[in-house]
Chain A
């Protein structure tokens, strides 16, 4: 590689703050920026509690409780990533990242990863409250927690995919609703999973059906379809598929607006 141009000599410089830890990777920068928005973060962490505390404290019907908590996780993942990335493009931030010597797949993965970490905090908080209120077995809570994290990753990928379609945050919300609603239906969240047929098989490849089962297991101890062992196997699969999809979305994501 050819030599770089010599920097202009600038003389002595004060080093105030230079030794402080600074973000070197995009995910660190994005995560720090999110954590710095204290009020937004407090609202983000607080609003699931409005749903989970009444559900955990009362004997809400098992099916509806599982459905509501799964929709909550799905919305957290899709809306968080989708709207954030769409806004980033609108502000010109993605334009700036696109001309850095960082491959598109890594930009996509790092943005996704930073959002996912914050979403995981939210989901963990939900699971902690359920653990305190319901006292399920450690295996059950671990399996459901992992499923929730995998579902957040899957939902975040949907959000990222939507961000490749539009530059408008409002439009992104509409796209998300249009995509998410049928996926939740096909996962059996509204009607239950049929014992056979296309809908049965579709439900097997979507994480929402597993997560709904997981929440029902946590809340009432008797899942209709799955078992903790199956959840533990499914979670890493969904996580890996989501990461691969995120990386693949990097190029279309950065190409939009180019």
Chain B
């Protein structure tokens, strides 16, 4: 791993309604792709905005590339927020030219980026004619325009179709293998599993876990995720008392159960439901993933 790119000490940023993030400590080294994972309202976007120099922490401090100079940091950071605002009347090429120049790059860097983001063919059309996915691609091209050393992405897969997500995954994998450091705020765990090297779980503004992706996935060996959809509320406490069950979390339409695999597990689970099993709409069992790690560690479902 390379030198420290980001160092966060006791960062706290709270809003008037009490929501926000912190205190949080975080250190990101060169070449890492760190995912900030948590449900809505967990503070991951607030944290990312502080890392992007957009927000100032109430307490604590952030150091970028071993310096606290925000302006110098901006010259080396590429940021993609959730908003897709552009100079809509102008072409992607014109928008990109501005962001490239602002980031200290030349016009020559534009075409390779447009090719990489698969926008070269439509580069001279006004951005107003672009779909949401195309705008997201252009945002990434603009963020990469200054050849940043650190890329900060807020919910990058939001609104992208399957092809768009595949493209984003490929670009991030290529860029990170070329040495780019990235910090991604998301609750799309399938995406994180493909691009991240490290994962930080956030709940209610606090960082509750920080580990490598491999470490987290390895910890799930021998477990299964069981998803139940039901018309009626499920007996979560009774389900949690079944042998082998590690965590039970309510979701919007039923529950997610994380359990050690054993014979008779499903039968025992269904038995706790009594007559309620008639209201069961769906039951699925699958290999656990990062979302299950989140459930096991925090006791909360990401999609709750």
Which residues does A use to contact B, with CB under 8 Å?
1-2, 4-8, 10, 13-18, 20, 22-26, 28-30, 32-33, 36-37, 88, 91-93, 95-96, 98-103, 258
Residues of A contacting B108 with CB < 8 Å?
Answer: 18
Q: Is the CB of B81 within 8 A of A1?
A: no
- Indicate if B116 sits at the interface (CB-CB under 8 A): yes
- Indicate if B231 sits at the interface (CB-CB under 8 A): no
Distance, CA A24 to CA B157, complexed state (A): 29
Q: Is the CB of A96 within 8 A of B81?
A: yes
Residues of B contacting A6 with CB < 8 Å?
Answer: 178-179
- Indicate if B93 sits at the interface (CB-CB under 8 A): yes
Q: Is the CB of A100 within 8 A of B85?
A: no
- Indicate if B1 sits at the interface (CB-CB under 8 A): no
Q: 5 shortest A-B CB distances, which residue pairs?
A: A92-B83, A22-B97, A36-B89, A93-B85, A33-B87
Q: Is the CB of B54 within 8 A of A1?
A: no
Q: Is the CB of B116 within 8 A of A23?
A: no
Which residues does B use to contact A, with CB under 8 Å?
49, 52-56, 65, 71-72, 74-77, 79, 81-91, 93-95, 97-99, 101-104, 107-112, 115-116, 120, 123-124, 126, 146-149, 174-175, 178-181
Q: Is the CB of B83 within 8 A of A91?
A: yes
Residues of A contacting B99 with CB < 8 Å?
Answer: 100
Residues of B contacting A96 with CB < 8 Å?
Answer: 79, 81, 83, 85
Q: Is the CB of A100 within 8 A of B103?
A: yes
Q: Is the CB of A18 within 8 A of B110?
A: yes
Residues of B contacting A5 with CB < 8 Å?
Answer: 147-149, 175, 178-181
Q: A22-B97, A99-B74 are in contact. Are A258 and B55 (CB under 8 A)?
A: yes
Within the complex, the shortest CB–CB distance from A39 to chain B, in Å, comes to: 11
Q: Is the CB of A1 within 8 A of B72?
A: yes
Q: Is the CB of B85 within 8 A of A7?
A: no
Besides A5-B178, A13-B120, A95-B54, 12 more A-B contacts (Cβ < 8 Å) are A1-B72, A5-B179, A13-B112, A18-B107, A22-B97, A23-B94, A37-B89, A92-B84, A96-B81, A99-B79, A100-B102, A100-B103
Within the complex, the shortest CB–CB distance from A109 to chain B, in Å, comes to: 15
Q: Is the CB of A29 within 8 A of B95?
A: yes
Residues of A contacting B75 with CB < 8 Å?
Answer: 1, 101
Q: Is the CB of B81 within 8 A of A92?
A: yes
Q: A32-B87, A92-B83 are in contact. Are A99 and B178 (CB under 8 A)?
A: no
Residues of A contacting B102 with CB < 8 Å?
Answer: 26, 100-102
Distance, CA A37 to CA B180, complexed state (A): 38
Q: CB < 8 Å: which of A4, A37, A258 contacts B54?
A: A258
Q: Is the CB of B94 within 8 A of A22?
A: yes
Residues of B contacting A98 with CB < 8 Å?
Answer: 53-54
Q: Is the CB of A29 within 8 A of B147?
A: no
Q: A8-B116, A102-B102, A258-B55 are in contact. Are A33 and B93 (CB under 8 A)?
A: no
Residues of A contacting B180 with CB < 8 Å?
Answer: 5
Q: Is the CB of A23 within 8 A of B98?
A: yes
Q: A2-B149, A5-B147 are in contact. Are A99 and B115 (CB under 8 A)?
A: no
Q: Is the CB of A22 within 8 A of B107?
A: yes
Q: Is the CB of A4 within 8 A of B148?
A: yes
Q: A5-B178, A17-B123, A258-B55 are in contact. Are A29 and B71 (CB under 8 A)?
A: no
Residues of A contacting B146 with CB < 8 Å?
Answer: 4
Q: Which residue of A lies closest to B89 (CB)?
A: A36
Q: Is the CB of B111 within 8 A of A14?
A: yes
Q: Which residue of B lies closest to A88 (CB)?
A: B85
Residues of B contacting A4 with CB < 8 Å?
Answer: 76, 146-149
Residues of A contacting B77 with CB < 8 Å?
Answer: 99
Q: Is the CB of A8 within 8 A of B178?
A: yes
Q: A23-B94, A32-B90, A103-B71 are in contact. Are A15 and B111 (CB under 8 A)?
A: yes
Distance, CA A141 to CA B156, complexed state (A): 55
Q: Is the CB of B54 within 8 A of A29?
A: no
Q: CB < 8 Å: which of A23, A36, A101 contacts B103?
A: A101
Some 17 contacts from A to B, beta carbons below 8 A apart, are A2-B65, A5-B180, A7-B109, A8-B174, A13-B115, A14-B115, A23-B94, A24-B98, A25-B98, A26-B102, A33-B87, A37-B89, A95-B83, A95-B85, A99-B54, A101-B103, A258-B49
Distance, CA A14 to CA B81, complexed state (A): 29
Residues of B contacting A95 with CB < 8 Å?
Answer: 54, 81, 83, 85
Residues of A contacting B72 with CB < 8 Å?
Answer: 1, 101
Residues of A contacting B97 with CB < 8 Å?
Answer: 22-24
Q: Which residue of B lies closest to A96 (CB)?
A: B85
Residues of A contacting B84 with CB < 8 Å?
Answer: 92
Within the complex, the shortest CB–CB distance from A99 to chain B, in Å, comes to: 5
Residues of A contacting B87 with CB < 8 Å?
Answer: 29-30, 32-33
